[in-house]
Amino acid sequence: MDQIKQTSCYHCGDECKTEISFDDKTFCCNGCKTVYEIFSENDLTCYYDLEAAPGSIPKEIEGKYDFLSQKNIIEKLTEFDDGNTQIATLYIPHIHCSSCIWILENLNKLNPNITSSQVNFGKKTIRVTYKSETCSLKDVVLLLSSIGYEPYISLDDFKTGNQNVNRSLIYKLGIAGFAFGNVMFLSFPEYFEVGEFWLEQYKHLFRWLMFAFSLPVVFYAGRDYFVSAYKGLRSNLLNIDVPIALGIAVLFLRSTVEILFDLGSGFFDSLTGLVFFLLLGKFFQQKTYTFLSFERDYKSYFPIAITKINSKGNETPIQVYDIEKGDRLLIRNEELIPVDGILINGKAKIDYSFVTGESESVSKQSGDKLFAGGKQTSGVIEMEAIKSVEQSYLTQLWSNDVFSKNKEDGFTTLTNTISKRFTYIVLSIAIISTTFWLFVDASKAMNVFTAVLIIACPCAIALSAPFTFGNLLRIFGKLKFYVKNASVIEQLAAINTIIFDKTGTITSNKSSSANYDGIALTPSEELLLKNTLRGSNHPLSRTLYDILEEHNIITLNHFEEHLGKGIEATHNNEHIKIGSASFVGAKETSVLNTTVHISTNNQYKGKYTFYNSYRKGLSKLFNKLKKHYDLVILSGDNEGEFENLKKLLPSKTKLIFNQRPDDKLEYIKYHQTEGAKVLMIGDGLNDAGALAQSNVGIAISENVNVFSPACDAILDASKFNQLYKFIKASKRAITIIKWSFVLSFIYNIIGLYFAVTGQLAPVVAAILMPLSSISIVVFTTIATNIVGRKLSKS
């Protein structure tokens, strides 16, 4: 009877409930010990030297990867196959430290048929090259799983060929930077020593070289601005790219005309610099979280293959897309039901929390209908498919056109609002000053007209938003709030209604609280209860075990788990039964909450009632939010928690229960037509429609590496109570942008003075343009960092 010691596992770092000693090291389970054994046999213990306790517990995978022996599935998963060598890229969520990189890149020591393996840490993928004659993809996956690095293979991987990485922005940036540098060198002599003998001699050569360098900048690097301006004009929209494109075009044409007729040296330096800075802003804004995906649909949640039982009773793995109506399928414990069907055999206990928002799993009898997306949680079942994957109840949600719409289309950014007026003002200044010069000195009129358009090119305005939002994206990312792109921050600042999902969003998945009512348990009964729960892996047992006080470990004389009913155990002369009301022998009372009943020695004692455990700081957050926003709870669950929530949340909060996925979507749509700017916060597949329909959809995630539905931002669950601060920071970002607009207008006015008076020399443009851009970058970076510091302090 040892007191439980708090030692942590040498392999995974978890607290050891039962200690296993091996090689002077302690392990929490046999799985961890086995991984250690594999490593030590192969001289790979360096794994533990790089980082302390870097591993994870290997999971039971018996039969799970049988589908990998199928030729057509291997074809889809490998990116290269010449008969001898295959290359496959696998996504491994557990990759998290340098030890992981080291061990995964030394796979060849564990299996010599693996020729090389390369980790991409950012994407958490491993690219394995192996000899396909002696080693199969299944072997590789099994090896990875056996050392605790189980790859995650989902229906999303079901696409052929390599995905093309879009690197065009880097190319464009490279070209613009290259041209900018060289043009600067070539134009430098003419800035100061005008009229010098040798300069006169060679200036034509220099100028034509500059012209040559600027060609790819205008026609390749700057092409996007012309395309975007054209698109904007066609849809009657004066976006920021219109004055930019105009500026680039005028710069290029005037410079070409100048060198053609030997009028001057042109503005090639300003032209290339302008494009370079603009692209730099684009590049900076393009912060991507390679390990996160904001575009996931049900495909990344669904398995790629499932076991089919054919008419002779043989089990064969088949692709999920190949499932036909009437197929008989075998679903193992912890596997996902891929299609709607009817339960044939076995005890089904389906966890629908991700699909419907119901917090507790439901039991099904044979003959009952099962819906796709549920997870089987007890034993093996057999089912018959009645629909194909795409036609299932859940997956049909994705045929709603809200998923094909682009949210940014209907949103006018602050920059574009400004640019509309800006363009009009600049054009009128250009026309007025040109008319003025036509009367005063007609030879200068064209000069002034182009100069105004050149100097008014809103480089600084165009850079304000990218650098402010880009920097804020990085700050948010450090605080575990991962935002898809800059426009999301802008939309977040404009919302007026916040809608929350209940299960998994405002409640936490990890723990719930339980209340006991009934006859008080004696200390020996409590001891027995705790020890009985220890042996059970049922989620409710685990939860209850964690809630109960610590007790000594005793060895049970008898222990039995009845699937779907409960557990019973004896110690000395005491007998205990824990489980459902009917199992324990209590009267079934119809309550909406989950209960666990207990009886000892065939005498009913009482029950534990589980309540959702709400996230820390929930009521505080709601009380802060209620002053500025309309708050709604939209839950797929029943009304069991109604009273509880009413007490917890401000009275203005609307509580709506029993919402199906498409109900949620319609609810948001309806309120949007009434002018609401909706922020939806959800977590499961059932919120996917609502997240897509809302102006900003944030997915709450306990672990950002596991699945979260398509959304605009992912918020780590631990930062849930900071939500209001993130919204406030977004609002501050808008203020920063407005101030930097003011700053760039000042530069524009200075520049316009030179332009209108007809004395814009290339050197003035070459100084003013980079100066305004750089000072905007400095200003926005410092300002956002101040906002960020405030944010991380609290």
Please name the helix (run of DSSP H) or strand (run of DSSP E) that holds residue 755, with its range, or none. helix 723-756
Quick check: helix, strand or coil at residue 187?
Answer: helix
The interface region with other proteins, picked from 17-25, 111-119, 522-530, 783-791 by CB under 8 A, is 111-119
For the bound state, the minimum distance from the C-beta of residue 119 to other proteins, rounded and expressed in Å, comes to 6
Torsions phi, psi for 369 (to 5 deg):
-85, 135
| CA-angle at 65, arms to 59 and 68, nearest 5° | 150
Q: Does 209 bind other proteins (CB under 8 A)?
A: yes
Q: Does 215 bind other proteins (CB under 8 A)?
A: no
Write the CB contacts of 193 (distance below 8 Å, at least 6 apart in sequence): 199
Say if residues 50 and 98 touch (Cβ distance below 8 Å).
yes
* Nearest Cα residue to 598 out of 636, 541, 555, 650: 541
Residue of the chain from 20, 29, 87, 121 that contacts other proteins (CB under 8 A): 121
The interface region with other proteins, picked from 164-172, 223-231, 731-739, 741-749 by CB under 8 A, is 164-172
Q: Does 98 bind other proteins (CB under 8 A)?
A: yes
Please name the helix (run of DSSP H) or strand (run of DSSP E) that holds residue 698, with its range, or none. strand 696-701
Q: Does 162 bind other proteins (CB under 8 A)?
A: no
| 3-state percent helix, strand, coil for the chain, nearest multiple of 5 | 50, 20, 35
* Residue closer to other proteins (CB basis): 2 or 82: 82
Q: Does 161 bind other proteins (CB under 8 A)?
A: no
Q: Does 101 bind other proteins (CB under 8 A)?
A: yes
Say if residues 727 and 495 touch (Cβ distance below 8 Å).
yes
Instruction: For 487-565, list the strands marked E by DSSP.
Output: 497-500, 513-518, 558-562
For the bound state, the minimum distance from the C-beta of residue 763 to other proteins, rounded and expressed in Å, comes to 22
* Residue closer to other proteins (CB basis): 205 or 440: 205
Q: Does 40 bind other proteins (CB under 8 A)?
A: no
Binding track, positions 44-73, relative to other proteins; x by CB under 8 A: --x--xx-----------------------
SS3 track for 768-794: HHHHHHHHHHHHHHHHHHHHHHHHHHC
Q: Does 174 bind other proteins (CB under 8 A)?
A: yes
Residue of the chain from 17, 59, 109, 542 that contacts other proteins (CB under 8 A): 109
Q: Does 22 bind other proteins (CB under 8 A)?
A: no
SS3 track for 188-215: HHHHHCCCCHHHHHHHHHHHHHHHHHHH
Please name the helix (run of DSSP H) or strand (run of DSSP E) that holds residue 85, with its range, or none. strand 85-91
Q: Does 396 bind other proteins (CB under 8 A)?
A: no
Strand-pair partners of 125 = 91, 120
Quick check: helix, strand or coil at residue 120?
Answer: strand
519: tokens are: 């006859």
> CB-hemisphere CA count at 13 Å for 678?
28
Q: Does 293 bind other proteins (CB under 8 A)?
A: no
Residue of the chain from 16, 73, 77, 119 that contacts other proteins (CB under 8 A): 119
Sheet holding 603-611, edge to edge: 513-518, 603-611, 595-600, 574-579, 566-571, 558-562
For the bound state, the minimum distance from the C-beta of residue 328 to other proteins, rounded and expressed in Å, comes to 44
Residue of the chain from 106, 228, 363, 570 that contacts other proteins (CB under 8 A): 106
Taking the mean position of all CA atoms in its chain, how far away is CA 460? 31
* Residue closer to other proteins (CB basis): 171 or 321: 171
The interface region with other proteins, picked from 162-170, 344-352, 671-679, 730-738 by CB under 8 A, is 162-170
The interface region with other proteins, picked from 120-128, 476-484, 529-537, 684-692 by CB under 8 A, is 120-128
For the bound state, the minimum distance from the C-beta of residue 98 to other proteins, rounded and expressed in Å, comes to 5
Say if residues 305 and 320 touch (Cβ distance below 8 Å).
yes
Say if residues 600 and 492 touch (Cβ distance below 8 Å).
no
Q: Does 202 bind other proteins (CB under 8 A)?
A: yes
Where in 304-343 is the site for other proteins (CB under 8 A)? none
* Residue closer to other proteins (CB basis): 114 or 544: 114
753: tokens are: 């003075």
What does DSSP say about strands 574-579 and 595-600: parallel, antiparallel, or unpaired?
A: antiparallel
Q: Does 115 bind other proteins (CB under 8 A)?
A: yes
Please name the helix (run of DSSP H) or strand (run of DSSP E) that holds residue 125, with its range, or none. strand 125-131
Q: Does 85 bind other proteins (CB under 8 A)?
A: no
> What is the rounded distance in angstroms from the CA atom of residue 626 to the CA atom of residue 476?
23
* Nearest Cα residue to 104 out of 64, 57, 144: 144
For the bound state, the minimum distance from the C-beta of residue 129 to other proteins, rounded and expressed in Å, comes to 9
The interface region with other proteins, picked from 113-121, 408-416, 441-449, 693-701 by CB under 8 A, is 113-121
752: tokens are: 């316009």
> What is the rounded distance in angstroms from the CA atom of residue 396 to the CA atom of residue 266?
60
Where in 612-671 is the site for other proteins (CB under 8 A)? none
Q: Does 205 bind other proteins (CB under 8 A)?
A: yes
> What is the rounded distance in angstroms from the CA atom of residue 142 to the CA atom of residue 47?
19
Residue of the chain from 5, 71, 198, 674 that contacts other proteins (CB under 8 A): 198
* Residue closer to other proteins (CB basis): 123 or 626: 123
Q: How many residues bind other proteins (CB under 8 A)?
A: 32
Residue of the chain from 1, 2, 5, 43 that contacts other proteins (CB under 8 A): 43
* Residue closer to other proteins (CB basis): 43 or 409: 43
Amino acid, single-letter form, for residue 317: P
* Residue closer to other proteins (CB basis): 189 or 303: 189
For the bound state, the minimum distance from the C-beta of residue 131 to other proteins, rounded and expressed in Å, comes to 12
* Residue closer to other proteins (CB basis): 170 or 782: 170
Q: Does 116 bind other proteins (CB under 8 A)?
A: yes
Q: How many CB atoms lie within 10 A of CB 787?
A: 21
Residue of the chain from 71, 83, 164, 165 that contacts other proteins (CB under 8 A): 165
Q: Does 219 bind other proteins (CB under 8 A)?
A: no
> What is the rounded distance in angstroms from the CA atom of residue 133 to the CA atom of residue 139?
12
Q: Does 178 bind other proteins (CB under 8 A)?
A: yes
Q: Does 439 bind other proteins (CB under 8 A)?
A: no
Q: Does 113 bind other proteins (CB under 8 A)?
A: no
* Residue closer to other proteins (CB basis): 205 or 749: 205
Q: Which residues bind other proteins (CB under 8 A)?
A: 43, 46, 49-50, 98, 101-102, 105-106, 108-109, 115-116, 118-123, 165, 167, 170-171, 174-175, 178, 182, 198, 201-202, 205, 209
